[in-house]
Amino acid sequence: MAADPTPFTVKAMTYNIQVAGTQPPHAWALRLPLMVRLLQRETPDVIGTQEGRYEQVRDLATALPDYDWIGVGRDGGSEGEFMAVFYRRARFEPVAFDHFWLSDTPAVVGSATWGNQYRRMVTWVRFRERATNREFEVWNTHFDHEVEPARVKSAALIRQRLAATDRPLLLLGDFNCVAGRSVAYTELTVGAGLTDAWNVARRRGPEDLNTFNGHKGPQRRGERIDWILGRAVAAVDETAILDYAEAGLAPSDHYPVTAQVTF
């Protein structure tokens, strides 16, 4: 069956789920049920997660039986944090995937050459919609939080790699720099030609909410460091920063960002 050429819509989420800890009140065992309830409420088609370790990714997969996931630890195998991509298996099937490291040697597992202490990487997946054969890609990343030159070089490498595919795609991630006020953002939007879903959405909000909360409640300076960027975006019906909490406890020190993207 040939691919259906009509537009199609994907609900995407980017979510730094915060590395596991054992100390209350932010222990993973306490945060996991909240996160599961949030994800079940939102029902995204694809989720790009950051910071989760293998046990966290497995916990989410167990609690969300409608989803499968693809990823590898940034230190190799099951070690270190994952840029795991979750997807609704009933709607999509993965037809290709790979990982590369944000360094001068992207194919070398666990490589870091730009002065960053922590290894950084990208996981990408090419999906086919089962009902129509339409294909698109999801790229998921987490930029360094300390070294600005590493963030700039990371964006340049992703721009270079994006040039190798002409498919519609989403780039999800915690970029650790503010949208509209960083070189990496300019490299990926102006340079690579990606569309920031936030900027073109018919509805969006809250306008002033930071995506990083630090478990201090909503911070309102309009600083988005978690983005959903896209190629071949025809429209974005809605995008939102979800300041979900229960009894004052948020599931993570980041709020997830969602976007309803039509290619």
| pLDDT tens, position by position, 127-172 | 999 999 999 999 999 999 999 999 999 999 999 999 999 999 999 9
Distances (CA, A) of 101 to 78, 113, 142, 147, 198: 15, 10, 11, 16, 27
Strand ranges of the sheet holding 67-70, from the earlier edge strand across to the other edge: 67-70, 85-88, 46-50, 9-16, 257-262, 235-241, 201-205
Got the DSSP string for 84-99? -EEEETTTEEEEEEEE
Token readout for 202 is 């018919």
pLDDT mean over 194-210: 97
Helix (H) or strand (E) holding 226: strand 226-231
Instruction: Read off the pLDDT band of 37 (50, 70, 90).
Output: very high
pTM above threshold 0.85: yes
pLDDT mean over 74-96: 98
Q: For the chain, what is the mean pLDDT?
A: 97
The domains of the chain, with CATH numbers, are 9-262 (3.60.10.10)
